[in-house]
Amino acid sequence: MPLSTYLIYLVAVLLLTVTPGPTMLMTLTNSVNHGPWRALASLSGSLAANMVIMMLSALGLGALLSASEAAFVTLKAIGAAYLIWLGVKTFHSGSGLQLGEGAPPRRSLFLQGVLVGGSNPKSLLFFTAFFPQFIDANVPFMPQFLLLSLTFVFGDFVILGAGAFGVGRIAPWLKQSHVVRWINRVCGGLFALLGGLLLLARRNA
C-alpha cells in the first residue's frame, strides 16, 4: 500500500472517529458516571466488537447482509432494541457519580461495550465497502487488512480515550447531582434516538 494511500486512510479514520456515535456517547456517559478508567473498559469492549466485525466483513458476511433483507432486518431490530433499552436505563439512572465500590464491575462495562459496538449491522456493510477503497489488489490482502484494522482500532482508542479522560478532569463539577441527572437524561435520549434511527436504516444507506 502506497504511503499516500495510507495517509488518506488516516485522515478518513480521524474524521470517522470524531463523528458522534453510540460508542462515543457510551464512553463519555460512563466516564461521567463511573470515571475514565471504567469508561475505558466499555470502550475496550466496543473496540473488540469492531475488530470482530472487521474480520467478518473480510470473510464476506457484509456481502451476505447486503443480499439478505431478512438477515439485515433481524440484526437491525436487535441492535436498535438494545440501544433504546440502554437509553431508557441511562435516562432513569441515578444522579450521583458511582465510583469505586458503587460502580458496575469492569466486566459488565466491557460487555456493554461489546453490545454497543456490535449492535449496528451497518458496520459490517460499512467496513465491507470502506476497506476495499484502500486495498491494493496487486499486494497480499491479509497484511493490508491487518494494517487497516489495527490503525482503525488504535485511532478509535486514542480519540475516545482522550475524550473519556477529558470528561474525567471535570469530575468535581459533575458531582453536583442536578448536572449528572441532566447529562444522563440527554445521553439517554440520544441513545434512544440512535436506536430509532437504526430502525429506519436501509441496507443501501
The 10s digit of each residue's pLDDT in 150-205 is: 888 898 888 888 888 887 666 555 555 665 677 667 767 776 776 777 667 565 54
For the whole model, what pTM was predicted? Answer: 0.64
Q: Are 43 and 151 in contact (CB under 8 A)?
A: no
Q: By the 8 A CB rule, do 62 and 128 touch?
A: yes
* pLDDT of 32: 80
Residues 48, 128, 86, 185, CA torsion sign: positive
Cell match 460499512: residue? Answer: 126
What torsion, rounded to 10 degrees, do the Cα atoms 148, 152, 158, 163 define?
A: 170
CA distance 45 to 51: 10
More confident residue, 1 or 193: 193
The span from the CA of 166 to the CA of 4, in Å, is: 32
Inter-residue contact 119 to 89 (CB < 8 Å): no
> Angle between the 22-34 and 177-200 helix axes, to the nearest 10 degrees?
160
Determine the average pLDDT of the residues in 7-12: 80
Q: What grid cell was written down for 5?
A: 494511500
pLDDT at 205: 45
